[in-house]
Structure 1
Amino acid sequence: MTVPAQSAVESLQPPEVNPADPSFWQLPHSARLAAFAALRRLDRPAYFVERPATRRRPERGFYALVKHADVVQASRLPQVFASAPGVTTPEPARWVRFLFGDSMVNLDAPDHTRLRRVVSRAFSPRLLAHAEEDIRRVAARIVDDMLEQRPDDFVASVASRMPFEVICNLMGIPERYRPEIAGRVDHAAQNAGVDRPLRARLRVPGRGLRALARMHLMMATLARERRSRPADDLISALVRADVDGQALDARRLGAFFSLLMVAGVETTRNAITHALTLLTDHPEQRALLAADFDRYADGAVEEVVRHSTPIIQFRRTVRAEHALGGHTFRPGDKVVLYYTSANRDETVFTDPDVFDITRSPNPHLGYGGGGPHFCLGAHLARQEIKALFRELLSRPRALRAVGPPEPAYSNFDNRVLALPFTFDPPASRPGH
């Protein structure tokens, strides 16, 4: 690992400006944004120590890529900035990877290329068309249930249900498995923040190993069933796909399903939750969207994703010497791509802290910075958010948050545990 510039390190060690310190992620959101703004003003990436050197272990640290241009360039150079051995912080343990298989996000070419080709082939136009129809039906049913049951937490009753039901329907998960999966996902999500005791921290963000093992067993059972009795769902397509003679075995199917629970459920749930908060805090933007939904919906979704940035960061490992952002990286260096900072880069976004659904262009990095790891489910996520808010805003109720969101302090995703909300009854007309 290269030796960092001492001047940069000395000025960035306090916890309030140090994203390697767990205390940093318990600061108010505005304070963290200010810290990243300060990092963007540096003339080169800052280096942070995660674990000091000891007699037995070398120092462990990373360089923070916080500028939009740097994150994009690193994302599009996978031969230099590799995903293996892992993109999460901390990286998954070797025994976890051996036991459960490598998630697609932790692979590089040629393994990643082959696996993504299999998955992409399974997402056929027919399957995606059925998924979009299902998204509209799920959105309508969730809002109907909300109006009938009158819950007080938006996350549990609306935001969580939407992506979970869509993904389960898409995959073809039988109803008998869903309550257990939902419970394990919720339990893991509540215990994955940086404020937990060290012994309780999970090696895989958003997942406990016990829940992960159980889901892998479920996928193995379903894979066997679908091979013998295929259905019109994604599991059948994945286990029967024939791309250069390859399909997904049970181990890789389990890893893919676990990834979908993070990339397809948790991130979309959080984006939906942040959307309600943003539209509540900015009534003029809500009024604009409600007045002409078809005109502004696409822009609103993109701005929600930019402003909230559901995935905060991913890690990369340098494989070849490369100059980027005023620094020359060496093989073995670790870098962290901070999407949450890149999406507020003043050189790319005018008034980046302003929520503006008419923002155009909006080259945010909420689905990644491009390259081979650009989010495969970005289209479905956009459709889910749009369909749900079409339903919510078309009903004659004044839906709004009535309190601040309850955050889970995490350095991985911008997760919300709960959001109190209400929806007023229709206003009475004069004379009634």
Structure 2
Amino acid sequence: MGLFSTSHPFTTGVDISSDEFWSRSFQERDEAFARLRAEAPVSWHPPVSYPAPHEEQGFWAVTRVEDITTVSRDSETFQSRHGFTLDPLGARSTGGSYFLAMDPPEHTRHRGLVSAAFTPKQIRKIDDRITENARLIVDDLVGAGDIDFVEACSRRLPMETVSDMVGVPKSERGRVARAADNLFGAGEVSRLPAEEAMKLKMEEAIYLFSLAKDLAAHRREHPSDDLLTNLVQARIDGEGLSDDDIGAFMLLMATAGNDTTKQTTTHTMLGLAAHPEQRDWLMADFDGRIMGAVEEFVRHATPVMTFSRTASRDVELSGARISAGDKVVLFYCSGNRDETVFEDPHAFDLSRPRTRHVAFGGGGAHFCLGSGVAKVQLRSIIGELLRRLPDIEFGTPVRMKSNFINGIQSLPAHVG
């Protein structure tokens, strides 16, 4: 029991824990977050609904950019090793979080092993491949008629990129994509009762672990110029990574490296269709404006909405007295609509001045390692789509119910 924790002041009148709340649209939910940002930027709430027994008492909701950044940059006080999801069991239930659930110095060593694959130099090496993949994807869309845009376009480029980097064979890429969809609550999982969905998610995680171990064994015997070869050859304090480490990394790449870019692509195309003046502004100088516009793509989409930490000591944050052992949740979906940081935060404004958003995290040790690759992919696929399919028509999106991913499960579209 920490020095501060005799009882927690539950926030009254603002519900961000129920299933009903997370079934609402992003915009409807932000009415609650706007009130929290204004009245109680760090506030205590009961745990979210979860289909398995747990002992969690609740969580602190951190809703402003300034506090999200403070927590993100202080890994000693706000730790990741006890889980990183809003759900009570979160990362511990999947067993596949790799360095997302580590703290320095362990996190620093493991992240260092894979960071070489994400340097600007390495990203330039895969840039041409990403550009070519984007072109081939749009080739398949030309004249396609009625499609599911998520299935036919958004999900393809990130999975191809991840598979190229890790060395997933062509024969397994469709299966890996399905596993990633199910792990994030899309695909078949979305149609199952809670307990069956949990079982399928575990099966998909086991599949990705098994695939990674098989690929790692192959790379030990047949090294190549890919990230997996670097991992099997790497040493930490003289020891190589375990098969479990490599399996967890595969799970991380197949999910975090896939769904975030997939969702941003879908949200961005909907935003451009709804705001043709923004599309026209971008296309007037695409090469000069696209990388600034990408920042607005990811801020406005906020594909990852939440991450959690656990306080290692008693600490005060914006007047809230947080006790050691308390769960602290960073609401990126709220931070990216923070009125104190962004003028007219709900607007989709590609000319918005560069401002510190939190779509890639709030900085610190866990800032998104793949942000550079994500930006290159978004530049490539959005550019191909706008240049070659300017008249694509979209229907009504089917949204995922999730407290983690701001997801669109399917999107009917017509390509003439």
Q: Same fold (TM over 0.5)?
A: yes
Where does residue 421 of structure 1 map in the other structure?
A: 413
Task: Name the Cα RMSD after superposition.
Answer: 2.4
Extract unaligned runs of 5+ from structure 1: 425-432
Residue 359 of structure 2: SS of its match in structure 1?
Answer: coil
Q: Work out the CA distance in 2 between the residues paired with 1:261 and 1:88.
A: 17
Residue 351 of structure 1: SS of its match in structure 2?
Answer: coil
**Fraction of identical pairs, as percent:** 35
Where does residue 310 of structure 2 map in the other structure?
A: 317
Where does residue 283 of structure 1 map in the other structure?
A: 276
How far residue 326 of structure 1 moved from its aligned partner, in angstroms, is 1.0
Q: What is the identity, as a one-letter code, of the residue corresponding to 1:411?
A: N
How far residue 399 of structure 1 moved from its aligned partner, in angstroms, is 3.6
- Asked if structure 2 preserves the Cα contact closer than 8 Å seen for 1:193 and 1:409, the reply is no
Where does residue 165 of structure 1 map in the other structure?
A: 160
How far residue 249 of structure 1 moved from its aligned partner, in angstroms, is 2.6
Matched, 1:298 2:298: no
Cα 1:225/1:212, change in 2 over 3 Å: same
Matched, 1:153 2:148: yes
Q: What is the identity, as a one-letter code, of the residue corresponding to 1:304?
A: F
Where does residue 230 of structure 1 map in the other structure?
A: 223
Matched, 1:240 2:233: yes
Q: Work out the CA distance in 1 between the residues paired with 2:379 and 2:164.
A: 18
Please say which of residues 302-311 and 103-112 is displaced more in the overlay: 103-112
Mark the structure with the bigger radius of gyration: 1
Cα 1:388/1:212, change in 2 over 3 Å: same
Q: Work out the CA distance in 1 between the residues paired with 2:48 and 2:305.
A: 21
Q: What is the identity, as a one-letter code, of the residue corresponding to 1:402?
A: F
Q: How do residues 33-72 of structure 1 correspond to structure 2 at under 5 angstroms? A: 33-50=30-47, 60-72=57-69
Residue 39 of structure 2: SS of its match in structure 1?
Answer: coil
Q: Work out the CA distance in 1 between the residues paired with 2:275 and 2:97.
A: 42
Where does residue 252 of structure 1 map in the other structure?
A: 245
Cα 1:51/1:60, change in 2 over 3 Å: farther
Extract unaligned runs of 5+ from structure 2: none
How far residue 91 of structure 1 moved from its aligned partner, in angstroms, is 4.5
How far residue 297 of structure 1 moved from its aligned partner, in angstroms, is 0.7
Cα 1:415/1:57, change in 2 over 3 Å: closer
Select the residue among 319, 322, 338 that pairs with 1:345. Answer: 338
Residue 388 of structure 1: SS of its match in structure 2?
Answer: helix
Cα 1:416/1:57, change in 2 over 3 Å: closer
Cα 1:57/1:268, change in 2 over 3 Å: closer
Q: Work out the CA distance in 2 between the residues paired with 1:300 and 1:122.
A: 25
Where does residue 73 of structure 2 map in the other structure?
A: 76
How many corresponding residue pairs? 409
Q: Which has the higher contact order (CA 8 A, sep 6+)?
A: 2
Cα 1:44/1:350, change in 2 over 3 Å: closer
How far residue 219 of structure 1 moved from its aligned partner, in angstroms, is 0.8
For residues 359-413 of structure 1, give each alpha carbon's deviation from its aligned partner in whole angstroms, at most 9, with x where no partner exists: 1122110000000000000000000001111111222x32444222210010011
For residues 242-293 of structure 1, give each alpha carbon's deviation from its aligned partner in whole angstroms, at most 9, with x where no partner exists: 4543443321111111111221101110000000000011110011111210
Cα 1:352/1:42, change in 2 over 3 Å: same
How far residue 43 of structure 1 moved from its aligned partner, in angstroms, is 4.1
- Structure 2 length as normaliser, TM-score? 0.91
Where does residue 26 of structure 1 map in the other structure?
A: 23
Q: Work out the CA distance in 2 between the residues paired with 1:286 and 1:390.
A: 11
Q: What is the identity, as a one-letter code, of the residue corresponding to 2:38?
A: R
Cα 1:226/1:197, change in 2 over 3 Å: same
- Asked if structure 2 preserves the Cα contact closer than 8 Å seen for 1:65 and 1:71, the reply is yes
Q: Work out the CA distance in 2 between the residues paired with 1:5 and 1:125.
A: 46
How far residue 131 of structure 1 moved from its aligned partner, in angstroms, is 1.5
- Asked if structure 2 preserves the Cα contact closer than 8 Å seen for 1:122 and 1:241, the reply is no
Residue 367 of structure 1: SS of its match in structure 2?
Answer: coil
How far residue 211 of structure 1 moved from its aligned partner, in angstroms, is 1.0
Q: Work out the CA distance in 2 between the residues paired with 1:272 and 1:162.
A: 10
Where does residue 113 of structure 1 map in the other structure?
A: 108
Cα 1:45/1:123, change in 2 over 3 Å: closer
